[in-house]
Amino acid sequence: MPLVRFDLAQTLPPERVAALTDALHTALVETCAVPEADRFHIVTRHAPDGLMLDATFPNIPRSAAASVVQVTFRAGRSVDQKRALYRRFADLAEAAGHRREDLLVVLTENTSPDWSFGNGIAQYAAE
């Protein structure tokens, strides 16, 4: 189960937010074997002074609509899968009107016992 956090500009219209979250979910399903129904997204909107992203690091020109996407999921994806995820997300987001340059993605991996889906149980932990 990936847990995804989107940090976005307050000025981004709701339909563009939906397109961005849809693009990432589709990319996760297609490249990282995430089940279609496994969607847990948290969207946080920020005022202009709430996202302080370097405008050009590392030689990538970002606009005021730049977004930060953090994906936390269980370890096990290959480097090739991660590269495919970044590419597919950028392709889908661009098709929906977002600039590829404005997509900063950070992946964080953990292990099965690090998840509880409710009821105070680590559902993926070996007994």
2 noted as active-site residue? yes
Whole-number Å distance between alpha carbons of 105 and 4: 10
Q: Which of 2, 14, 35, 58 is catalytic?
A: 2
Cross-strand bridge partners of residue 108: 72
Q: Residue 113: what are its φ and ψ, rounded to 5°?
A: -65, -5
Cα-based distances in Å from 40 to 21, 35, 53, 99, 121? 10, 11, 25, 24, 18
Query: 71: closest CA among 96, 111, 42, 49?
Result: 42
Whole-number Å distance between alpha carbons of 112 and 86: 23
Catalytic residues: 2
